[in-house]
Amino acid sequence: MVALGAAGVAFGAPVERAVERVVTPIREKDPTGLSDLVPVGGFRYYTVTSSVPRLGPDDYRLRVHGLVDRPMTLTLADLARMRQTTLVRDFQCVTGWRVGAVHWSGVLLRDLLAAAGVQPAATALTFRSFDGVYTESLTLAQATRPDVLVALTMLGAPVTHDHGGPVRLYVAPMYGYKSIKWLGEIEVVDTVTPGYWERQGYDVDGWVGRSNGRADEAV
């Protein structure tokens, strides 16, 4: 399986070219002085669908269900009332671009899971986007790390629609494909189901610098 995955990437099977738009580099906005971490521009906007509903405070919902004691359907206000955690971390796409020292905030996924009450049989999570197509996965151990965020802000402002707002996942230690945009649903399950790009060859465990054929390059 590992060899197959690496071969898939090496021969270019998954290419995130669906809809790609290069936007203004973060460089101009970056007050941290770390802008030399942005050698080749900023974020690209990615989506695998041609259109995504625009949801806001009135109609956004996050459903948390599956192997939990208290299934929940949360509004944006519900999420905003929970403890907010800030992370400042790089964002790196497996295709090579990286944005340094991005400011994120939101609810730690582990806080959300604690609120829902994860049942003993649970070992993994399935994430579904309200774009209707994109999915992702994490093991429970990965999901409860202190650097995995249900993000409400990104770059110091509410997550924009194009970046997956109003709510996206941010999995800091992994390549960008794990950070599912337009997060609509979290299901707590007992098996990892590979996500959208993972079914096309990317590693399910998408650690930056040590997955997808990379061995410990500088990160």
Nearest distance from C-beta of residue 79 to ligand MTE, angstroms: 18
Give the one entry of Mo ion, ligand MTE, none that residue 44 binds, where binding means its C-beta sits below a cut-off of 5 to 8 angstroms depending on kind: ligand MTE
Question: In the stretch 92-111, what mask flags binding to Mo ion with x, by CB under 5 A?
Answer: -x------------------
Nearer to ligand MTE, 113 or 182 (CB): 182
CA distances from 27 to 98, 100, 101 (A): 12, 9, 10
SS3 42: coil
Instruction: Tell me which residues in 24-83 interact with Mo ion (CB under 5 A).
Output: none
Interaction of residue 176 with Mo ion, rule CB under 5 A: yes
Select 26 or 192, whichever has its Cβ closest to ligand MTE: 26
Rounded to 10 degrees, the C-alpha dihedral 127/132/133/137 comes to 0
Only segment of 4-12, 46-54, 78-86, 211-219 that touches ligand MTE (CB under 6 A): 46-54
> Which residues are 128's β-sheet partners?
135, 185
Nearer to Mo ion, 23 or 121 (CB): 23
Which of the residues 140 through 199 are near ligand MTE (CB under 6 A)? Answer: 163-164, 176-177, 179-182
The burial class, CB within 10 Å (0-12 / 13-18 / 19+), for 144 is middle
Main-chain phi, psi angles of 33, to 5 degrees? 80, 5
DSSP 35: G
Decide: 78 and 161 in contact? Cβ < 8 Å.
no
Q: Are 126 and 194 in contact, with CB atoms under 8 Å apart?
A: no
Number of residues that bind Mo ion (CB under 5 A): 4
Using CB under 6 A as the criterion, which residues of the chain lie in contact with ligand MTE when the complex forms? 16, 43-48, 93, 129, 131, 134, 163-164, 176-177, 179-182
Using CB under 5 A as the criterion, which residues of the chain lie in contact with Mo ion when the complex forms? 16, 93, 176-177
